[in-house]
């Protein structure tokens, strides 16, 4: 890994050249007091869409969005109520995205998937065919875990993994993982001496990085470990990854040198 910007390796030409992009956003970035951040996120996605890029958004946030509708002040502890909140919140979440996309005349298509679906040939090819068609029709696809039949993300915060798997499924040219922190750091960013890691080589095991340096608590789940694992999954398939904050999504999708760039592994 390198904390120095190296023009030869850190170049983001791949971002602006990308024909198909998967963007993953977590619950805390687009729910509660950050519901207002859906607008700027959609602005950035619409701008990529306008230059011809096919966009898949993997968005969490169903549980967090559903909580007030079930009069819950805090995230419920039991799985059934979490699933109920997700069922209610998913609907509202998609409505909010669509309302924002309306400003650009873009239509959203909702795809609810499980990691298990993608591991089995029949549901995998069904999902692949549907998503190809949606993207061909210039629909902005919004994916979340299908929480009523799977609870991987609720339990383990694994929409990052789902995003990595979706990137592979659709043959994405780029995966953008958004979190609350602007990049991966050598240690937790508030600690003295923490440095932003600008570029991670595809064969770098990141053994020098102290985990806990990205990812937030609160309404979301997941953390640095699942984000790095998702990035590794994508780079192994030849898909480069940008890891940055939701606040920097516009810059990331413009190809600016923000966040941490994971170089894609060479694939035949
Ligand atoms: N897929 C769920 C959601 O979108 C789970 C997220 C979570 O556990 O925070 O809300």
Residue nearest atom 7 of ligand 1, based on CA coordinates: 154
Residue in 19, 86, 99 with CA at minimum distance from that of residue 59? 86
Query: CATH no. for residue 200?
Result: 3.40.1160.10
pLDDT of residue 217: 41
Task: Answer yes or no: is pLDDT of 221 > 60.
Answer: no
Nearest one of 233, 255, 243 to 181, comparing CA atoms: 243
Q: Does residue 267 fall inside a structural domain?
A: no
Structure tokens belonging to residue 140: 């902005």
pLDDT in tens, 58-108: 999 999 999 999 999 999 999 999 999 999 999 999 999 999 999 999 999
Q: How far apart are the C-alpha atoms of 74 and 264, rounded to whole Å?
A: 39
The rounded distance, in Å, linking the Cα atoms of 187 and 151 is 30
Give the model's pLDDT for residue 189. Answer: 81
Q: Could you tell me the distance, in angstroms and rounded to a whole number, from the CA of residue 65 to the centre of ligand 1? A: 9
5 compared with 26, residue with greater pLDDT: 26
pLDDT digits (tens, 9 = 90+) for 157-180: 779 999 999 999 999 999 999 998
Whether 147 has a pLDDT exceeding 90, the answer reads yes
Mutating to test ligand 1, I would choose from 26, 28, 29, 63 the residue with most ligand atoms within 8 A of its C-beta, which is 63
pLDDT at 213: 43
Q: Is 154 in the pocket of ligand 1 (CB under 6 A)?
A: yes
C-alpha 200/C-alpha 11 separation (Å) is 13
Q: What is the mean pLDDT of the chain?
A: 90
**Strand-strand pairing, 20-25 and 174-179:** parallel
The Å distance, Cα 220 to ligand 1 centre, comes to 7
Answer whether residue 9 shows pLDDT above 80. Answer: no
Is residue 2 domain-resident? Answer: no
pLDDT of residue 212: 56
20-25, strands of its sheet edge to edge: 108-113, 140-145, 54-59, 20-25, 174-179, 241-245, 260-262, 199-200
> Average pLDDT for residues 217-234, to the nearest whole number?
74
Say if residue 128's pLDDT is above 50.
Answer: yes
Indicate whether this model's pTM tops 0.85.
yes
Kindly state if the Cβ of 90 falls inside 6 Å of ligand 1. no
The answer to the question of residue 122 being in a domain is yes
Question: Between residues 8 and 237, which one has the greater pLDDT?
Answer: 237
> Is residue 62 lining ligand 1, measured as CB closer than 6 Å?
yes
pLDDT of residue 267: 87
Q: Is residue 1 part of a domain?
A: no
In a domain, 108, yes or no: yes
265, pLDDT greater than 90: yes
Domain carrying residue 133: 7-262
Residue 238 lies in a domain: yes
Where does residue 208 rank: exposed (0-12), middle (13-18), buried (19+ CB within 10 A)?
exposed
Look at residue 268 and tell me if it is in a domain.
no
What is the bridge-based pairing of β-strands 260-262 and 140-145? unpaired
The whole-angstrom separation of Cα 44 and Cα 30 is 14
Provide the pLDDT for residue 190: 83
Of the chain, the percentage scoring pLDDT greater than 90 comes to 74
Q: What's the pLDDT score for residue 209?
A: 77
Residues 252, 177: contact at Cβ < 8 Å?
Answer: no
Is residue 76 a part of any domain in this protein? yes
Q: What is the pLDDT of residue 151?
A: 85
Decide whether any atom of ligand 1 lies within 6 Å of the 147 Cβ: yes
Say whether pLDDT at 266 is over 80.
yes
Q: Whose CA is nearest to atom 9 of ligand 1?
A: 220
26-40, 95-109, 148-162, 225-239: which has the minimum mean pLDDT? 148-162
Burial grade of 62 (CB within 10 A; 0-12, 13-18, 19 or more): buried
Number of domains in the chain: 1
What's the pLDDT at 3? 65
């Amino acid at each position: 890994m390198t904390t120095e910007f190296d023009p030869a390796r850190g170049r983001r030409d791949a971002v602006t050249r990308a024909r198909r992009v998967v963007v993953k956003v977590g619950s805390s970035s687009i729910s509660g007091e950050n519901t207002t951040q859906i607008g700027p996120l959609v602005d950035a996605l619409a701008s990529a869409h306008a230059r011809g890029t096919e966009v898949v958004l993997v968005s969490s946030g169903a549980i967090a969005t559903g909580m007030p509708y079930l009069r819950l002040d805090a995230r419920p502890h039991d799985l059934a109520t979490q699933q109920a909140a997700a069922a209610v919140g998913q609907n509202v979440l998609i409505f909010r995205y669509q309302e924002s996309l309306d400003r650009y005349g873009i239509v959203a298509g909702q795809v609810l998937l499980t990691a298990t679906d993608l591991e089995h040939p029949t549901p995998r090819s069904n999902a692949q065919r549907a998503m190809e068609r949606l993207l061909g029709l210039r629909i902005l696809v919004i994916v979340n875990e299908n929480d009523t039949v799977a609870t991987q993300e609720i339990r383990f915060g694994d929409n990052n993994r789902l995003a990595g798997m979706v990137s592979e499924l659709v043959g994405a040219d780029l995966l953008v993982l958004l979190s609350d922190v602007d990049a991966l750091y050598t240690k937790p960013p508030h600690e003295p001496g923490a440095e932003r890691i600008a570029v991670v080589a595809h064969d770098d095991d990141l053994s020098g990085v102290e985990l806990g340096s990205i990812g937030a608590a609160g309404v979301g789940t997941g953390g640095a470990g699942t984000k790095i694992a998702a990035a590794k999954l994508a780079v192994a398939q030849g898909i480069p990854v940008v890891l940055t904050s939701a606040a920097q999504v516009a810059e990331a999708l413009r190809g600016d040198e923000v966040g941490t760039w994971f170089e894609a592994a060479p694939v035949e």
